[in-house]
Amino acid sequence: MTVKYTEDHEYVRQNGSDGTVGISSYAQEQLGDIVFVELPAVGNSYKKGDEIAVVESVKAASEIYAPVDCTVTEINEVLNGDPGLINTDPMGEGWLVKVTIDDESALAGLMDEAAYQSHIA
pLDDT in tens, 50-106: 999 999 999 899 999 999 999 999 999 999 999 999 999 999 999 999 999 999 999
pTM for this entry: 0.96
| DSSP assignment letter at 5 | E
Strands 34-38 and 97-101: unpaired
Strands 34-38 and 45-46: unpaired
- Structural domains in the chain, CATH included, are 2-110 (2.40.50.100)
For residue 83, give Cα distances in angstroms to 51, 64, 78. Answer: 18, 14, 8
Confidence of residue 1 (pLDDT cuts 50, 70, 90): confident
